[in-house]
Amino acid sequence: MQNNIELYFSALTQNETFARAVIAAFAAQMNPSIEELSDLRTAVSEAVTNAIIHGYERDGSRCVKMRCTIDGDLLTVAVRDDGCGIPDVELARKPFYTSKPELERSGMGFAVMEAFMDRVTVESALGKGTTVTMEKRICHAER
Amino acid sequence: MEINAQKRGSGLVASLVGELDQHNAEKARIMLDTMLRDITIRDLTLDLSGVTFMDSAGLGVVLGRYKTIHMRGGRVIVTGVSAAVDRIFRMSGIYTLVERR
């Protein structure tokens, strides 16, 4: 049976630490290794940061949605914003590309998500928003 | 985010304590840049032993300070790198610019 949680929170960067704590607490039942937990926390942090500073351009009155699903040993996290959308997803996913060089972003957000999760898919529509869906098999899971 | 810094000759050792995510990266950047206004500083050592979390925003902080220091002809050194921080440093290729000790 699937286990789901859904979380809505204001698009404020101080909620990044909260989002990381939530994914770690939810994934704990899968008995992950310390490294797997670290990977999950980092990937979620990247996706949430993108939603806040790119999707919503730091408009803290907007809401980020995070949906997490456990299905056997597979953990799926979908981070959604209803913000501006990404004009060119392929370009945005390229390492070192950033649309906000003035913020000193490293342009490594998607590269980190891809390195630390097994699968990352991005659905985006201009003016409608972006959903980043990330999957990871937790090898330490009890079967 | 807390930064304790100590100047030794032309080197600055800055110890970062806390989670280096986007929220704290902005604070860290302002604090470090304020310290680096002292143009007699050539080399920067970032002691990351107190960093309990880092994502790509932290990479941006290190790369940004590297640019400043590199223009002065100095070096950036990172110490106290945890296994988790090391993974993100390695995947980014930052060790070609910044020395780990």
Q: Is residue A143 part of a domain?
A: no
Residue A46 annotated as catalytic: yes
Q: What's the token pair of residue B2?
A: 């807390």
Among chain B residues, the shortest Cα distance to A51 is held by: B22
Q: Do A112 and B29 touch (CB under 8 A)?
A: no
Comparing CA positions, the residue from A73, A68, A65 lying closest to residue A4 is A68
Q: Is residue A24 part of a domain?
A: yes
Residue A36 annotated as catalytic: no
Q: Is residue A142 part of a domain?
A: no
Domain count, chain A: 1
CATH label of the domain that carries residue A68: 3.30.565.10
Mean of pLDDT values over B54-79: 96
Confidence grade of residue A142 (pLDDT, cut at 50, 70, 90): very low
Among chain B residues, the shortest Cα distance to A49 is held by: B22
Supply the pLDDT for residue A101.
82
CATH architecture, domain B2-100: 2-Layer Sandwich (3.30)
On chain B, the residues whose CB falls within 8 A of the CB of A14 are 23
Supply the pLDDT for residue A19.
98
How many CB pairs lie under 8 A apart between chains A and B? 69
Among chain A, residues having any CB pair with chain B shorter than 8 Å are 13-14, 16-17, 20, 35, 38, 41-42, 45-46, 49, 52-53, 103-109, 111-112, 115-116
Task: Report yes or no: B57 at the A interface, CB cutoff 8 Å.
Answer: yes
Best B32, B56, B63 residue to mutate vs chain A (most A CBs within 10 Å): B56
Q: Do A42 and B55 touch (CB under 8 A)?
A: yes
State the pairing for strand pair B43-54/B11-20: parallel
Burial pattern A91-116, b for ≥16 Cβ within 10 A else e, equals ebbebebbeeeebbbbbbbbbbbbbb
Supply the pLDDT for residue A140.
67
Would you say residue A143 has pLDDT above 80? no
On chain A, the residues whose CB falls within 8 A of the CB of B23 are 13-14, 16-17
- The answer to whether the beta carbons of residues B101 and B78 sit under 8 Å apart is yes
Residues A64, A80: Cα–Cα separation, whole Å: 6
Residues B68, B97: Cα–Cα separation, whole Å: 13
Task: Report yes or no: B19 at the A interface, CB cutoff 8 Å.
Answer: yes
- ipTM (interface predicted TM): 0.92
Among chain B residues, the shortest Cα distance to A48 is held by: B22
Q: A11-32, pLDDT tens digit by residue?
A: 999 999 999 999 999 999 999 9
Range of the structural domain that residue A35 is part of:
3-137
Q: Is residue A120 part of a domain?
A: yes
Q: What's the token pair of residue A10?
A: 């204001």
What's the order of all strands across the beta sheet hosting A3-10? A3-10, A63-71, A74-81, A129-137, A119-125
Q: What is the SS3 string spanning chain B?
A: CEEEEEEECCEEEEEEEEEECHHHHHHHHHHHHHHCCCCCCCEEEEEEEEEEEECHHHHHHHHHHHHHHHHCCCCEEEECCCHHHHHHHHHHCHHHCCEEC
Task: Indicate the domain borders of chain B.
Answer: 2-100
Q: What's the token pair of residue B63?
A: 């790369």
